[in-house]
Amino acid sequence: NAGVTQTPKFQVLKTGQSMTLQCAQDMNHNSMYWYRQDPGMGLRLIYYSASEGTTDKGEVPNGYNVSRLNKREFSLRLESAAPSQTSVYFCASSEQLGNYGYTFGSGTRLTVV
Amino acid sequence: GEDVEQSLFLSVREGDSSVINCTYTDSSSTYLYWYKQEPGAGLQLLTYIFSNMDMKQDQRLTVLLNKKDKHLSLRIADTQTGDSAIYFCAESLADKLIFGTGTRLQVFP
């Protein structure tokens, strides 16, 4: 059982470069999420998608865009990377929004120099 | 407001009990969760409690909920070295989960 798969696992970018983080789930979940994890700050929600075809901003959306390509895939794009976006990024999915446990991917460690 | 607070570190001896505490501010949360994150991995759901319960037990894990004080705790009995990880509490608000800062549990022999 793959669950939630994120690629790449590690990435180093130069300031101003762009990249897309990929996420796919094979559990037929409706909702998907992107979080970033920074030391001492826990997980902060960047964007989420309640269902295929919808996306909404979370707590820290600035500097990011997302695409819910289909039910399985939810990508996160950094158009012009900044050092403040150095973080570990986690994708998660759940059956529905709201009161359900999330399944997390193993994360992408991104460094912007 | 949306604010979930945890202490950052906890160190316990192997075989002792660990108690990890969490406070939250929004009384409308219907579910509260505990997640475990091992080094280099994503978060794994450990257990959850519905807001109309005050206790839930699952093998070595006991969750206590005090709604009046908005306080949640996770007790791990007979703590083992494999329990060393970061533990996050989370509350559900409308359509998203709000996570605490995480408590790093270190178990020493």
Q: pLDDT digit string (tens) for A25-42?
A: 999 999 999 999 998 788
- Residue A92 distance to chain B (closest CA, Å): 9
Per-residue pLDDT at A101: 79
**CA B90 to each of CA B14, B21, B31: distance values in angstroms, whole numbers, following the listed order:** 26, 12, 9
Chain B, window 16-35: residues with a beta carbon less than 8 angstroms from a chain A beta carbon: 30-31, 33
For the residues of B38-91, what is the DSSP string, one character each? -TTS-EEEEEEEETT-SEEEETTEEEEEETTTTEEEEEESS--GGG-EEEEEEE
Q: Is B52 on the interface with A (CB under 8 A)?
A: no
Percent of chain B with pLDDT over 70: 98
Per-residue pLDDT at A39: 83
Per-residue pLDDT at A1: 63
What is the average pLDDT across B14-21?
97
Percent helix, percent strand, percent coil in chain B, to nearest 5: 5, 60, 40
Contact A104 B42 (CB under 8 A): yes
**Closest chain B residue to A5, measured at CA:** B42
* pLDDT band for position A113 (cuts 50, 70, 90): very high
Per-residue pLDDT at A2: 74
Decide: A36 and A89 in contact? Cβ < 8 Å.
yes
**Chain A interface mutation, best of B58, B96, B101, B104, highest count of A Cβ atoms under 10 Å:** B96
- Give the mean pLDDT of chain A: 93
The model's pLDDT over A89-105, given as tens digits with 9 standing for 90+, comes to 999 999 877 656 789 99
Per-residue pLDDT at A41: 81
The model's pLDDT over B70-105, given as tens digits with 9 standing for 90+, comes to 999 999 999 999 999 999 999 887 778 889 999 999
**Chain A interface mutation, best of B3, B95, B103, highest count of A Cβ atoms under 10 Å:** B95
The model's pLDDT over A48-71, given as tens digits with 9 standing for 90+, comes to 999 999 999 999 999 999 999 899
Strand ranges of the sheet holding A4-7, from the earlier edge strand across to the other edge: A4-7, A19-25, A74-78, A64-68
* pLDDT band for position B1 (cuts 50, 70, 90): very low
The model's pLDDT over B23-64, given as tens digits with 9 standing for 90+, comes to 988 777 778 999 999 988 889 999 999 888 899 999 999 999
Per-residue pLDDT at A25: 97
